[in-house]
Each structure stands twice: as structure tokens, then as C-alpha cells.
Structure 1
Amino acid sequence: MTAQPGTRAGSPPPWTRAGADEVAYDGFARILHRPLLLPDGREALWDIHDSPATVSVLALTHDDRVVLVEQFRPGPDRVVLSLPGGLVDDGEEPVAAGVRELREETGYAVTSAELVATVDPPSHTRPRHVVLARGAHLAGAQHLDELEDITVVVLPVADVRRRLPTGRLGATEQTYLALDHAGLL
């Protein structure tokens, strides 16, 4: 058997679309129903989260502390400590979006920033970007959106690393990717 383009020998064959996506729900989140044809001929209707691309920022201060945000999250129904971040606007580059979100949510600016990873979640239509920023320094006040209530927390890298394996830190995957890229794991 020959592998299809983009797959390894022995990889399962891809599923194919069996029709147009239909909007199942359109509120704060948008959910699509995607009809798919499985390789064995069965049809499946898959729920897909259709949201804009997002960005998370691991912002390091000059003394290697991490700028974090603490805010209530309705999904887990608790206050969560996480990386700053948010939506990437149409036409906006992920790094620019990350620097903007960091400044809005925390009041911190940075001297440099780079895109270190782009993750394609399995049931989402758009990626999650990870930005590593250095030289973070307080440059002004927060400029929060209407539904944001954020406390800024700055912790040593060692404290962030200790929290990661607990699974209680928001943006865990993005935090691991950024710390690994920075050589701080």
C-alpha cells in the first residue's frame, strides 16, 4: 500500500469531507458540524470549534521572571493563572497580536518577541500561536476589554515550571513550548 502525500507509510488514511460545514451554534463560541467520509465508507458528523486564531505570550523580564495573568475562566469555573494572550485579528501577524495582547492585559512592553510555535488543535479550524518575548518591563496601565478582569502576576521561571505538571495552569501546552524554546525547562 502506498502512503498518500503528507502521510507516512502505515499512517491511517485521511478522512474526506462529505459536504459543507453547517453552523451548529453561533454565540461566544462558534461550533460547526462537519460531515466526513471515513476510509471504510462510514459517514460521521464531527463537531468543530470555529474560532479565530489565538496567541499566548511567554514574556520574560530582564531577571528571567514570567509575566502572567490571573482571571476567572468559565470553563473550569475558577480563577486561572495563565500566559497573557488572546485573539489574532484578521490580517494581524501573530507576534504583533501577542505584543498587543500583552500590553493590553498587563501593561508590559517588551524589547523583542518571536513566534516559537504554531499548534493546530485537532478539533479547531484555526491555530494557536506561541510567542516568546524578552525584556518585559512595565510600560503603562492595563487596557482591558469589557469582559476582562485581570490581575498581573510576575513569577520566577522556577515557580512556573513547578506549576506546569499540576495541569492547573492555563495555556499549559503553550507554556511548555515557549519554555522549551527558551531553554528554560
Structure 2
Amino acid sequence: MKKFEEKSISSERIYEGKVINLKVDEVTLPNGHTSKRELIEHPGAVAILAITPDKKIIMVEQYRKALERSIIEVPAGKLEKGEAPETTAMRELEEETGYTAESLELIQSFSTSPGFADEVIHLFLAEGLRKAESGAVLDDDEFVELLEVSIEEAEKMMQDNRIFDAKTAFAVLWAKQRLSIEN
């Protein structure tokens, strides 16, 4: 048995969307009582820490409606059904930034909001970058500005909340540690 497991008694999907589904589960708690859990089902995503030969991080600035503002992030995207995370990472890197990578290495996979969502992000390190012939090919509803920033600039962006999401903060801190070990 899993420690503190909550067993589902019933599950009702109340919304099915393009990006997420929402369900409400009734669960039995470890103490025998019951409770309801509102849960978001998400197919998962990738994020790419793309580092140029001169140790700059490729980032994108885009508007995030949920926050009602623009933030600076590492390139990222949703997994397509049946697509391997590595494939998604290479595709998203090229689509959002116009770069391809010689090598792609999984840094870590992690949950984004385990209290209510099952989304897992797979963070990859992309190195050996070169400009793709096609350049960036954004989705029709995607508007981004490409940035190349140093670790120090990224840390300042974290301090002034221009970098505001966990996946990007994690990527920046990982890059800082990795680059300090290499120097």
C-alpha cells in the first residue's frame, strides 16, 4: 500500500478540452472518511535548456493569459499523443527558436502542481546549437520574442520576476551549477 493513499470511489470528467481535462474524484482518505478531489489531466510537456557555445541561454518572452502578463521562459511545449519527450523537445526547440541541437540530454522530469494536476515536465539540455534553415515556425496563436541571456542576466530576471515560472527557474539554477562545475 502507498503511504497515505487516497482510493478513488468514483470519478466524473466534467470538462474535456484541447489542452486539459478536469475531473472530480470522490476518494476514501487514510482515516476512512471521504473527500472530493478536483483534478486536472494533462498530457505532459517538455522544456528545453538550450545553451549556445558562448554559454548563453536561449529563452522566449511571451504573454501568459493566466498571469495577465508577459514572462521570460525556456522554450517548452505540450507532448503530442504517442510522441516521445525527446521528439517533442527537438520539435519545440526548432519551432519556437529556429535552432536545432546536436545533442539532447534529459536533465530531470518533475511534477508541476501535484496538488491538483498530473502534468509532468521533462527538462532537456540542448547543446551543439545551430540555426535551422526554416527559422522559427510558430503556431498561429503563438507570439514570442527570442532572447539569448547569460546566467547572470537570467538570475536578475528571476529577482525582478520577469522569469516567474518554476521550470525556467529550475533550468537557470541547474545551468548555473553545471557551468560553474565546467569552469
Bin the TM-score by the shorter chain: 0.7 to 0.9
Aligned position for 1:27: 17
- How far apart are the structure 2 equivalents of 1:37 and 1:64? 51
Q: 5 Å matches for 1:1-185?
A: 4=1, 7=3, 13-19=4-10, 21-28=11-18, 29-120=20-111, 121-122=113-114, 123-140=116-133, 141-177=135-171, 179-180=173-174, 183-184=178-179
Letter in 2 for 1:39: P
Identity, % of aligned pairs? Answer: 26
1:138 positional shift? 2.2
- How far apart are the structure 2 equivalents of 1:146 and 1:113? 27
- How far apart are the structure 2 equivalents of 1:18 and 1:143? 45
- How far apart are the structure 2 equivalents of 1:55 and 1:124? 16
Instruction: Extract unaligned runs of 5+ from structure 2.
Output: none
- How far apart are the structure 2 equivalents of 1:116 and 1:91? 21
C-alpha contact (below 8 Å) 1:66/1:157 kept by paired residues: yes
1:162 positional shift? 2.8
- How far apart are the structure 2 equivalents of 1:71 and 1:178? 18
- How far apart are the structure 1 equivalents of 2:167 and 2:44? 16
- How far apart are the structure 2 equivalents of 1:100 and 1:158? 28
Give the match's secondary structure for 1:164. Answer: helix
Give the match's secondary structure for 2:178. Answer: coil
Residue-by-residue CA offset, 1:106-156 (whole Å, 9 max, x unaligned): 101111111111112312224111111112232242111121011111111
Give the match's secondary structure for 1:59. Answer: strand
* Stretch moving more, 76-85 or 118-127: 118-127
Letter in 1 for 2:141: L
Give the match's secondary structure for 2:90. Answer: helix
Instruction: Extract unaligned runs of 5+ from structure 1.
Output: 8-12
Give the match's secondary structure for 1:173. Answer: helix
Aligned position for 1:10: none
